Structure 1
Amino acid sequence: MTETAQTIRKDILAHKVTFSGSFNQDSQGFVKILVRTVDTDVVVLAVSTVQELGHVELWAAFGTGKDFRYISAHEISVALGPRKSRSLPIFHALTGCDTVSHFAQDVSELLEQRSVGVFEVGVDSQDANVTQAQLSRMVKQARRLRQISWCVTVVLVSDDPTFLATFADSSLKGRLLQWSTRLIIVTRLALQQLRPLMSTKYTFANMSVAVVAPSESNNIFGYHVYAHLPFEPHGAEVLQVASWTRHGGLRFTSDYPLFPEKYDNFHGARVRVAATTYKPLWMERHEITPDGQVVIHRSGMDYLLFEAVAEAMNFTFDVMPIKLWKEGLDLTSQRKALAVPVYHTFLYHVFEDMDFTVGYTYGFYCFAMAKPKLVTNWLNLYNPLTGGVWIMRIVVQFEEARSLSGVDCANTVFVLLLDQCVLETLPRQDSPRTLILTWMVVTFILGAGYRGSLIASLTLPKYPPRVETIEDLVNTVDKMTVMPWGTYFVEDFRQSGSPLFKRVADLMAPGLDTVEGLRQTLYKNQAHMEVIHTMQQDIADLFTRADGTTSVYIAREKLLPGLSGWPIPHDAPYRPQLDRHITSVIMAGLYDKWHEDILVLARRQSQARRRKAELRGEVVEDQDDSDSSNTLRPLTLSQLLAPIVLFTVGMTVSVLLFLVELQLPNTF
């Protein structure tokens, strides 16, 4: 609390003493009193004091200019009642609110006035279930008031420990409080009765709560203000932070403000988080020591991020073992775990059970498929030149040859086309000689171009087009595998208004992990869906060849944009600190650097394993090496099929002609 705020509160209490004294002395014989003021503090004090003056009308001439008006303090005091009227100064002193403009019982009035709401739940001679139902409705209405306000202080008045405990549970379940929402509990319970409530109830122990209880001293009438501090050097404790008396005002008894900051420093406390291996975000490696103990070594992008946050907030953590992420989310929503320190995508149905930290990365959900392979084609020999070039070569050479020198010239041109020797005598006319010379040059150029194109097609073959878009995906694959948690996305896609995503939902088959799903894409017409970081890690780790190439690829178009953060409990009071430290690490570029380092290490290790396997003559079954781009490799059937087909056709024709010649009579 600032010095200015403390001064204001002391001035208010000083006004209260002077104000009351003047009334007690000057109101004798008067039935109406008018006070001129422009300070709302005086109006509050007038409402709280008028009933002590007897039958007196107390008016406040309040405001200036067009906002000037007369306020009937005595009528407001009668409407509120003695208890509420006398309680106004202490509420005003603690909250620092300079506007107490309206008291309402109906939440519809609160939504219109946006001011003060007063709710009352009776517990005398009433069934506990009825009280619980009334309390739940009250919490719901109060939460609506909080949601439309930017600064809210909730004041709870009760002397019943059971009611206070029930309110703590109902407010937590109804999400009444956030860290920015202050809760003031005014009670006459003794400190011994308050300690168990403040230590065991999550709302009182961890939220921004101040408890105002009567002083236990018999000599001085006043109140003490208590707060629960969950993380202190010597453990959690209930601490008196201030005291208030009628004449002494508000006095601080510790170095803490009325509403202490509880989560800037955990003072080395141990907290629990829920996580399991999920490469490259959170990776665990178990090592057995010589004495038989199991040591867990952790690494990963999110592990390093959480470790940095833990160091900044000064806490250590224990990892609660889980098998499925749903278990971790359940533990977090039940507040048994501080968080799930592995990013999850923001999905609307998850927000029903928990909140998220700041979105610090995009965990794009993408799909991967096997790289297309060369298709065996007998036209490979024809492909280096287009069909138009072949046709124009044949048409031009024969037409021009016939127009100049007849069949003999055409035969000569054809022989040159086939790169054969010209044994016959060349024509003696100038025009055929010019044609043949020109054609020889053209044939040389076209032949050289053809040979270059053929060599290029053999060394750099043209692969079939890849599936890169969602539309291509649904029109190509038979199935898309996904991890077991993919059932969430199946439901989301089916509820989507896009026909394309509904078709994606029909293709999805949850139940396979990423490694097995990627392996199946190598020999089945299917794809696999996963978070891009995990997909990149598995491809680098298990599907990278010795030369650095991969047998699978990640499509360019993503299925979901995937803004992601850590799941945390609803209205977690430590979220501002988590967000601040996460943002600091992200802005420093450390998160992306960790990701790059992990990928580079995985690729190097995979390439090293492949090289060792090749030297030993072993076959790695994790991937298909049929299209590997090694420096030395033999020509495949897809590349030699065209010459084989031509050779077979030529031999067949030659044999048939030979047999025909044998059957013909010898005419020579």
Structure 2
Amino acid sequence: MKWWRLTMVRVIVIMAMVNLLVANDKDNHLLHYNGTTSTSTILKEESVVRGTPLGVAVFEVAVDDQDSNVTLTLLPYLLHQARQMRMRSWCKQVVVVSHDPVFLANFAEWSLKGRLLVWATKLLVVTSLPLPQLHALLSSHWTFSMMNTILLNLEDTPPNLRASVYTYLPYSPEGNQAVKVAAWKPGSGLVLLKGRSLYSPKYSNFYGAKVNVTGLPFPPYWDAVKGPDNTTQYSGTDYMTLVTVADALNFTVYIMPTTSWAEVTGLVEQRLSFMAAVHHTVLLARMERFDYAWVHLQGRADFSMADPGLKPQWQSLYYPLLAVVWAAIVLTMLLAPLALLLIIRVSESRMGGEEISALVVALDLGGILLGQSLPQRLCKTNPSRVMVAAWLVFAFIIGTAYRGNLTAFLMLPELAPRPETIEELVAAVDRQAHVDNRRYQQLLIAKYFIRADGTHKLYIGRDGLFPTQSAFPIPHDAPYKPAIDRCLMAVKEAGLYEKWAEDLLFQTQMKAQKKQKQEAEKETESDNNNRSLTFTHLQGAFLLLLLGLSLAGLTFVVEPLTVWHQQHHGGKSE
């Protein structure tokens, strides 16, 4: 193996498609380049001599003759180019070579801003720093402490060169700490320490650590109420999802105090909050500020409206029977008096007696149908008695059926049609609707717009306006996203989220309905009004009476005029 003196007058970032460190491989070697080594030499060494199968890219920032401000200007551009390569290839390794702690701190900051790394991308930092400075560097930067990073620290110079490999564990049984995971010597190669690995899974177990999250009340997903001893009790489907994820990954939740939704997501952007545990709609504009966990809520925006009131029901007297039944009754009312009159006339011709007019027969049969008493003048002969008996049975059946259905139609009248689709909503220009998340509206309706009998004053339309996808906001390229996503998928696929939503809605509805019943029992008058029929129910009867009074008044006026006309004109004609 050939070694070059590590002068570090240049800073080199290498992005390769292979693992640069292999445990227990005595033939593997470290790459060190002096200030005169060109990038073409590095590429040749990696791709030809060492046989990197999928390619290697080298990005170099010279700092020997450059002003520090110029270097900081070039660094973001370099990292942007490196990120483009990482996104276009299956890049697994990023190697940063520098022993300047200031540059490494700047690299950590700008790689975070430039979104160079994700958890699948492994970072190897090659440097030579004293242990206190190395530990401080690892613990003070997100890139080194939270991402998939190891640090190779050179501890001597050739021919006595030795190296130690360190990583930072933000969560461990002993708490957050920098640990040594491997050592390298020329004779023995890279040797892993017992129980250690180069790139440790940092987020499979949080070991009971406290994790900061943010959220504000947004029922039924997240709600907070004051509990005993000045405590706050949380509930909601998103909160229960958070608790389930915390149990699975073994961490405790600390809810950071916030006053606005902007602050909720702002703390996530600053990486002070692990995530916002109240779902947000996935929007491209928001993705410029933060990422999202796995989409666990497929929803839509729906509209809700007040239930339409009772429309004028003068037809309520007509609704109990179908039109064909009414037609049959009218036809029967025309034919039955004729048949009975024929029977009476035949009997009168045989037996004699007082003659009954056709109008009297029709009025008597109509009276029987309406429930009046049986007139004796219709039952003087056996044939007429049989006919009247048949009419009584007919009137009883028709009257009973009509009265039963009439009671039902008066107590439960037909409501006016209500808009259920977008087209119907647009057509109903004289009405107002509220548009919001469906489950949020269901909770508010169940809580504030429910009657004592369990019916609702508002309803939600059948068709939604547009579909939405919602998820928990997390910082850009959060390394714990795969662990969180795996737990969220398990919760969703097990049906727990839907079950929690149904239970919360049912409990809210039962509490609100119980409260309405208690208030109704206290207000006797209101309770009676709820059971009483209104004018809307009975307006058909009043309209029928008004029609009868109008006809009677018209008859009262026309009849004297007719008599007067006959008397005067009849006398003149004589």
What TM-score range do you get, normalising by the shorter chain? 0.7 to 0.9
Corresponding position of 1:472: 424
1:206 shift after superposition: 0.7
Q: 1:371 aligns with which of 307, 312, 329?
A: 307
Contact kept, 8 Å, 1:282 with 1:302, in 2: the verdict is: yes
Q: How many residues align?
A: 526
Match of 2:538 among 603, 627, 640: 640
Residue from 144, 165, 176 that aligns with 1:225: 165
Structure 1, residues 482-507: CA drift from partner, whole Å, max 9, x if none?
xxxxxxxxxxxxxxxxxxxxxxxxxx
- In 2 relative to 1, CA 295–404 (structure 1 residues): closer, same or farther, beyond 3 Å? closer
Report what 1:197 is aligned to: 137
Partner of 2:548 in structure 1? 650
SS in 1 for 2:65: coil
1:325-369 residue CA offsets vs partner (Å, 9 max, x unmatched): 232122212212111112223233322222222222334432222
What CA distance in whole angstroms lies between the structure 2 residues aligned with 1:122 and 1:555?
A: 65
Shift in alpha-carbon separation, 1:186–1:444, aligned structure 2, 3 A: same
SS of the residue corresponding to residue 121 of structure 1 reads strand
CA distance, structure 2, for counterparts of residue 14 and residue 645 of structure 1: 105
What amino acid is aligned across from residue 424 of structure 2 in structure 1? D
- The amino acid that maps onto 1:654 is A
1:563 counterpart = 2:469: yes
Q: Is 1:299 matched up with 2:235?
A: yes
Contact 2:22 2:28 (8 Å CA) reproduced: no
Per the alignment, residue 554 of structure 1 pairs with: 460
Query: Hey, what's the Cα distance between the residues in 1 that align with 2:21 and 2:127?
Result: 26
The answer to whether the 8 A contact 2:313-2:539 is kept is: yes
Any residues of structure 2 matched to 1:231-380 within 5 Å, and which? 231-287=171-227, 289=229, 294-380=230-316
Within 1, Cα distance between the matches of 2:542 and 2:130? 100
Contact in 2 for aligned 1:339/1:569 (Cα 8 Å) = yes
Looking at structure 1, the residues matched to 69 and 506 of structure 2 have their Cα atoms a distance apart, in angstroms, of: 62
* Residues 64-96 of structure 1, C-alpha deviations (whole Å, 9 max, x = no match): xxxxxxxxxxxxx99733x6777899x97xxxx
Name the SS for the 2:287 alignment partner: coil
- What is the 5 A alignment of 1:9-24? 9-11=23-25, 13-14=26-27
Q: Equivalent of 2:406, from 454, 460, 465? A: 454
Q: Structure 1 residues 132, 477: CA separation in 2 closer, same or farther (over 3 Å shift)?
A: farther
Equivalent residues of 1:401, 1:435 under 8 A apart: no
Distance 1:458 1:343, change over 3 A: same
Conserved 8 A contact 1:215-1:223: yes
The aligned amino acid for 1:246 is P
- CA distance in structure 1 between the aligned counterparts of 2:258 and 2:542, rounded to whole angstroms: 59
* Deviation (angstroms), 1:128: 4.6
Structure 2 CA distance for partners of 1:7 and 1:277, relative to 1, 3 Å: closer
CA distance in 1, matches of 2:392, 2:112: 92
**What amino acid is aligned across from residue 234 of structure 2 in structure 1?**
R
Letter of the structure 1 residue corresponding to residue 438 of structure 2: I
Q: Which SS does the other structure have where 2:233 is aligned?
A: strand
Counterparts of 1:205 and 1:404 in 2: how far apart (Å)? 106
Q: 1:641 to 1:132 in 2, by over 3 A?
A: same
1:168 to 108, 113, 130: 108
Q: Tell me, what secondary structure is at the counterpart of 1:379?
A: helix
The aligned counterpart of 1:610 is: 516
Q: Per the alignment, in what secondary structure is the counterpart of residue 123 of structure 2?
A: strand
CA distance in 1, matches of 2:55, 2:320: 81
In structure 2, how many angstroms separate the alpha carbons of the residues matched to 1:337 and 1:143?
Answer: 25
Larger relative contact order, structure 1 or 2 (CA cutoff 8 Å, min sep 6): 2
Cα deviation for residue 612 of structure 1 reads 2.0
Q: TM-score, normalised by structure 1?
A: 0.68
- Paired with 2:341 and 2:80, the residues of 1 have a C-alpha distance of 103
Aligned residue type for 1:173: K
Distance 1:224 1:189, change over 3 A: same
2: distance between equivalents of 1:633 and 1:352? 58
Q: Residue 414 of structure 2 aligns to which amino acid in structure 1?
A: K
Unaligned runs of 5+ residues in structure 2 are 1-18, 343-355, 568-574
Return 202-211 or 246-255, whichever deviates more: 246-255
Q: How does 1:400-549 map to 2 (within 5 A)?
A: 412=361, 416=365, 419=369, 449-476=401-428, 525-549=431-455
Q: Secondary structure at the match of 2:479?
A: coil
CA gap 1:9/1:283 in 2 versus in 1, 3 angstroms: closer
- One-letter amino acid of the structure 2 residue matched with residue 299 of structure 1: S
The answer on whether the counterparts of 1:243 and 1:253 sit within 8 Å (CA) in structure 2 is: yes
Hey, what does 2:345 align to over in structure 1?
none
1:359-410 Cα deviation digits (max 9, x unpaired): 2233443222222221123232233345566567657865998999999768
CA distance in 2, matches of 1:135, 1:236: 30
Q: Which residue of 1 aligns with 2:7?
A: none
> Does 2:84 align with 1:144?
yes
Deviations 1:547-567 (A, max 9, x none): 222222222222333333211
Asked whether the 8 Å contact 1:274–1:321 carries over to 2, the reply is yes
TM-aligned CA distance change 1:448 to 1:330, over 3 Å: same
Question: Equivalents in 1 of 2:209, 2:120: separation in Å?
Answer: 24
Is the CA contact (8 Å cut-off) linking 1:413 and 1:436 kept in structure 2?
A: no
Distance 2:46 2:186 in 1: 12
- Worse overlay, 130-139 or 644-653: 130-139
Could you tell me how far 1:249 is from its partner in structure 2?
0.4
Alignment-mate amino acid for residue 539 of structure 2: L
Contact 1:287–1:296 (Cα < 8 Å) also in 2:
yes
- Cα-to-partner distance string for 1:629-659 (whole Å, 9 max, x where unaligned): x997111111110111111221233234335
Q: Which has the larger radius of gyration?
A: 2
Q: Structure 1: which amino acid aligns with 2:512?
A: S
SS in structure 2 of the partner of residue 586 of structure 1: helix
Distance 1:7 1:348 in 2: 38
Residue identity (%): 36
- DSSP-derived class of the 2:166 partner: strand
What CA distance in whole angstroms lies between the structure 2 residues aligned with 1:125 and 1:399? 120
3-state SS of paired residue (2:256) = strand
- Following TM superposition, by how much is the alpha carbon of 1:415 offset from its aligned partner in structure 2, in angstroms? 6.0
SS in 1 for 2:315: coil
- After superposition, where does 1:595-634 map in structure 2 within 5 Å? 595-617=501-523, 633-634=531-532
* Map 1:18-167 → 2, pairs under 5 A: 80-81=40-41, 100-101=52-53, 115-128=55-68, 130-167=70-107
Conserved in 1, the CA contact under 8 Å of 2:204 and 2:249? yes
Say which SS state the counterpart of residue 137 (structure 2) adopts.
helix
Q: Give the CA RMSD over aligned residues.
A: 4.1
Deviates more, 1:349-358 or 1:213-222: 213-222
Kindly tell me: are residues 87 and 456 of structure 1, through their superposed partners in 2, closer, same or farther at Cα, counting changes over 3 Å?
A: same
Q: Which amino acid aligns with 2:207?
A: H
Shift of 1:603: 2.2
User: What's the secondary structure of 2:413's corresponding residue?
Assistant: coil
Which letter maps to 2:231? V
